[in-house]
Amino acid sequence: MRSFCYLVKRNMMVYYRDRGNLFFSFLSMLIILGLMLVFLGDMNITAITDLLNQFGGTQTAQTNYDNASNLVINWVVAGIIVVNCITIANAVTGIMIADEEEHKLAAFAITPMSRLKQILSFVTASGIMSVLFCCVTLVLAESYIALQGGSFISMEDHIVFLGYLLVVVFFSVSLVFFLAQFVRSKSAYSGLSTVVGTLVGFLAAIYVPYGSLPEAAGTILKHTPLFAASSLFRDLFTKDIVNQTFDGIHTEVVAEYKEFMGITIINQDVVVSHAQQIIFLMITGIVLFAISFALMQKRELKDR
């Protein structure tokens, strides 16, 4: 057990000391922030204030704008958390690919530790680093929102957030580990990482809100695990500010807005519960891990 912990620590330190790896882990997050600051942020705020004006919001124009700004920030933070879960797990898993290409994994074979434990050390390191950096992201987001005079989730909801985070990180690590079974070189994994970093923003409906997509694309998207993950965080982060922003607005309008922005998922006119989303993520993660280990064993037999 001690050797396993040492190897997990080693993988985490290799990731942390590689500044380039750290930067590219957060590149998707920086792109999202840039898009929101330059383009999408004002568009979303304007859309909310127009909606309030159309349906007779009871608050002043300045209050509507402040609430809309706070709502958009919370919505963006939820998406960033999901993106970080994927990109950080992806970057740490890249260390395993590099070790395999440089034959470092073969060197570990002389130790008493089994091949399975060696691989699990990378998986564990990916999960730990994802949780740590997502928590840091949350603290930074809360600090920014507080400086802007906005509100964030309650202390009780922080516990719920941690539970959601563990589930989403489990799925993220399983997805990245599954994808890693199809590459053997650092250059191939770098290309895969680029594709993953680009797609995650679309699959989580961050770059384009769910309601703006064509019907066929939206139907496919809402049945994907990444969309379920982003919906979990969005509903948690925005539930209070949504009620505050849309105070006095008919509940049907609020429900339509939440579906449009991917805060809630509606399937066959029924709202998908948080429990169902969590079960979906857990089952998907377990299946991906099972397939990954089967592929890994098959690849080892071919290499012998």
CA atoms within 13 A on the CB side of 271: 14
Looking at the structure of the chain, the number of domains it has is 1
**CA angle at 290 for the pair 288 and 295, rounded to the nearest 5°:** 90
Give the phi and the psi of residue 137 in degrees, each rounded to 5: -60, -40
pLDDT of 265? 93
In this predicted structure, what is the pLDDT of residue 128? 93
Predicted pLDDT of residue 59 = 73
Pinpoint the alpha helices (H) of the chain: 2-17, 19-25, 27-35, 41-54, 61-101, 104-108, 115-147, 155-180, 186-203, 215-221, 225-245, 251-260, 274-303
Question: What pLDDT shows up at residue 57?
Answer: 63
| Inter-CA distances, 109 with 33, 104, 214, Å | 43, 9, 51
Q: Which domain holds residue 257?
A: 2-303
> Using CA atoms, how far apart are residues 195 and 32, in angstroms rounded to an integer?
16
Q: What is the pLDDT of residue 281?
A: 96
The structure tokens listed for 24 are: 């590219």
> Along the 304 residues of the chain, how does pLDDT read in single tens digits?
777 888 888 888 888 777 777 777 777 777 777 777 666 677 788 888 888 888 766 677 888 888 888 898 899 889 899 999 998 999 888 888 887 777 666 666 666 667 778 888 889 999 999 999 999 889 988 888 888 777 778 888 999 999 999 999 999 999 999 999 888 888 888 888 888 888 888 888 888 888 888 888 888 888 999 999 999 999 999 988 998 888 888 888 899 999 999 999 998 888 999 999 999 999 999 999 999 988 887 766 455 4
* CA–CA dist 204, 257 (Å, integer): 17
